[in-house]
Structure 1
Amino acid sequence: MPNTEAGHPSPKILSVHQRLATSGARAAHVFRVDGKPNLVVPQLAEDILERPADMQGGNGDTDALLYRWEEGRFTEADRLPCPSGEDAVSFRSGGRDYLAFATMRTGSGPYEVNVDSLIYREEGGKWILDETLPTFGAKQFHHFSIGDREFLALAQGVLIPGIPLVPRGHGRSVVFERVDGRWREFQVLGGRFGYNWDSFRVGGHHFLAYADQLSPSVVYRWDGSSFVPYQTFGGRFGRSFRHFSHDGQEWLAFACITGESTLHRWNGELFEPHQSLGGAGGREFELFRRGGDLYLVRVCFVQGMPPAPKTDLMSQIYRWDNGKFEVLEEFPTFGGTDASYFEADGRSFLVVANSLTPDVRFRQDSVVYELSLDNA
């Protein structure tokens, strides 16, 4: 049975609106089709109950779940093949809508991490497989543009002690460029265990932030022809970045799974530490504005090592106040991996992807919360 104790003690801001029956949910990406919210949830694995619990195990031959917002709730609309889906991103290119999925592996053990990641194209209300890209333990796609050039960054790579995993290609995180309607490899950035990206512009320069598990996390600067290393963050265990502009300044949040999550302020040349955003476990951020206020959500994944992780953690929603973020409320997550804010029917919502039960099984509900931000 799924864990159902994801309620909220004395909720002030967040209240449970809907539970979604997910398994190893790795992302909760809300996008709009014809103005209506749609949600896609890639799933890492399904439980193999006769085997011991293992956060790196399970059946990886899974589907991504697609939902449509109907009568105030998400209704499952479709399923797309997406083995061990780690991430999904929607984007428009050439006047068409696309969904790109980063796929980690296939199989039920032993696993194959040299696997195609999948890009679907919307056509006549259906999602059609448009292109496949060979990947190695893929974690995240990130779509962005610089001028009239269009890019798709791929965070990939995996190294598990005691398990020989050999990439068929270079196996490093890489940036693709759109050429004649297809994605072509543009630049290999070198990370060995990539997780996440963010792209932004500061002072007329384009930057690409890259989080990595085993290598330093790096902010790259576009020099007009390639991405060059500009600033490093931490030595290992990076999970995500999130840039924003506020109060006339530029800011960059950085999540580290084993240490503090931190907020950094641009000093004119570099991002310098400004504020702690909580201790170990941080995996992903969501940033949104409403009514002139700025909010940040930090989603926490696990604490401890894979053989015995603690998956039931508290995640946070912050509001900007007097030059820093203040915690408005904490909420329970269970192997939390992602969050996505959206507005519908004149109300505010936050979808949170949960991937692991407290006893490290995959069948854990993800949650749609309604936000009562006026209570803040």
Structure 2
Amino acid sequence: LLVKHRLDYVEEYQNLVTNSETMGVEVFTIPKVGLFAATANRYTPPGSAIYKWTDGKFVPYQNIPTYQAQAWKYFTIGKKIFLAVANFEQNGRGQEFSVIYKWSRRKEKFITYQRITTHSARDWEAFVIEGEAFLAVVNHREGNNHNIDSVIYRWNPRTGLFETNQTIPTSGAYDWEFFTIGPYSFLAVANTFNGTSTKIYSHIYIWLSGSFQLFQSILTFGAADWEVFHIGDRVFLAVANSHSYDSGMPAPSNFYAINSSIYELNITAQMFVKFQDLLTYSALDWEFFSVGDDSFLVVANSFDGFTFSVNSIIYRWQGYEGFVATHHLPTVGCRDWEAFHTTEGSYLLYSSAKEPLSKVLKLKTT
């Protein structure tokens, strides 16, 4: 008899002491090897760490020199296994690269594979369209200029390298999110700041005859993350709005206590329409996860205008009521959430951008 699990409560499970503050975390499974978490850490040395899930907890596995790393992305191409880091700063020799690492089965470690010139890189997204592999980087700014190109690279199977395929103008961007709906492929960018305002349009692009073309623009407020998810046959897109600032406007009472929004695809109108607003506190990330038949969203609230110690919140899907807050989780400078499952159960991992401590929470189910 299949028992349907329900989320009862969340308990602190592991304090993960990190090399330094953590801007992002990526949880992934290498087949026949195990479950890993890569943290994007602020300082070099010692750089960023990869942890392996061993006897029910994450233990340090490998250190990689990074330069104010912002995010990791795990992806595979055929049998090849890769991990790409978005570096925000220059290395010791004044060169600014983000780096793709390849898993060496012989050494059981990640080794440098390809360096790509980036500009204050915030994020990588990996995806496949019609059998071709792509990697998109978010370039945040070059010097003081936030209005620059982010780049989509295409894997060349002949050379075994990523090559520039398309550039897309972005504004102080933080995140790329790829998703498919039926036969169509989409790429959404979170535009954060154009040099004077955070109240700017973020864009959704659609793949048409060999390149991404503008599909829809949505007004966002310091957008830091897009999260796509499906509930039944419905498609949703949630944006994390981090702050509301416009140099030409009077200051709001609070730059950080603002709505983040969930949009739903309207098939008839062929566009995303607003479904629900949720009050967030400098939200930096949304993560969707399921327990049994229930669907959840957890938000990374990072700052309320006064303190970095703010509750991040788990919302439960309640059908026509939309998402309703069910669990309040104390976090400090919360930057990123990852949901993962092992044979022992379901977990959430959050990274802190304000202290060298990330936490694994266990979802207690009945």
Structure 2 length as normaliser, TM-score? 0.85
SS in 1 for 2:356: coil
Matched, 1:189 2:146: no
Determine the structure 2 residue equivalent to 1:87.
71
- Which residue type is aligned with residue 371 of structure 1? L
SS in 1 for 2:281: coil
- Which residue type is aligned with residue 184 of structure 1? E
Q: CA deviation at 1:248?
A: 2.3
Matched, 1:142 2:94: no
Mapping of 1:255-266 within 5 angstroms? 255-258=240-243, 259-266=258-265
- Which residue type is aligned with residue 11 of structure 2? S
The whole-number CA distance in structure 2 between the counterparts of 1:373 and 1:188 is 45
Deviations 1:15-74 (CA, angstroms, capped at 9, x unpaired): 1111111221011211112262111101023xxxxxxxxxxxxxx555111111111111
The whole-number CA distance in structure 2 between the counterparts of 1:187 and 1:93 is 20
Deviations 1:156-212 (CA, angstroms, capped at 9, x unpaired): 1227xxxx5479xx9521111111321111111100312112111225321111101
Q: Is the 8 A contact 2:280 2:301 kept in 1?
A: no
Matched, 1:224 2:209: yes
Determine the structure 2 residue equivalent to 1:293.
294
Q: Is the 8 A contact 2:73 2:83 kept in 1?
A: yes
Mapping of 1:139-218 within 5 angstroms? 139-158=122-141, 164-165=143-144, 171-179=148-156, 180=158, 181-215=160-194, 216-218=201-203
Question: What is the aligned-residue identity percentage?
Answer: 24
Matched, 1:118 2:115: no
Determine the structure 2 residue equivalent to 1:237.
222
Cα gap change, 1:12 to 1:245, in 2 (>3 Å): closer
2:364 is matched with which residue: 358, 363, 372? 372
Matched, 1:130 2:113: yes
Q: CA deviation at 1:347?
A: 1.2
Q: Is the 8 A contact 1:44 1:62 kept in 2?
A: no
The whole-number CA distance in structure 1 between the counterparts of 2:47 and 2:177 is 26
* Stretch of structure 1 that moved more, 83-92 or 24-33: 24-33
Deviations 1:127-153 (CA, angstroms, capped at 9, x unpaired): 110010001100000000111121111
Matched, 1:26 2:23: yes
The whole-number CA distance in structure 1 between the counterparts of 2:140 and 2:319 is 40
- Which residue type is aligned with residue 312 of structure 1? S
Q: Whose relative contact order is higher, 1 or 2, with alpha carbons under 8 Å and at least 6 apart?
A: 1
1:316 is matched with which residue: 313, 316, 325? 313
Q: CA deviation at 1:245?
A: 1.8
Q: Is the 8 A contact 2:40 2:69 kept in 1?
A: yes
Deviations 1:262-281 (CA, angstroms, capped at 9, x unpaired): 11111121111111122231
SS in 2 for 1:177: strand
Gaps of 5+ in 2: 1-6, 195-200, 244-257
The whole-number CA distance in structure 1 between the counterparts of 2:145 and 2:262 is 36
The whole-number CA distance in structure 2 between the counterparts of 1:166 and 1:283 is 22
Matched, 1:283 2:299: no
Alignment RMSD, CA only? Answer: 2.2
Determine the structure 2 residue equivalent to 1:13.
9
The whole-number CA distance in structure 2 between the counterparts of 1:71 and 1:61 is 28
Q: Is the 8 A contact 2:220 2:241 kept in 1?
A: no
Cα gap change, 1:73 to 1:99, in 2 (>3 Å): same
The whole-number CA distance in structure 2 between the counterparts of 1:339 and 1:314 is 13
Gaps of 5+ in 1: 1-10, 46-59, 357-362
Which has the larger share of strand?
A: 2
Q: Is the 8 A contact 1:61 1:107 kept in 2?
A: no
Structure 1 length as normaliser, TM-score? 0.83
Q: Is the 8 A contact 1:299 1:315 kept in 2?
A: yes
- Which residue type is aligned with residue 266 of structure 1? L
The whole-number CA distance in structure 1 between the counterparts of 2:144 and 2:263 is 35
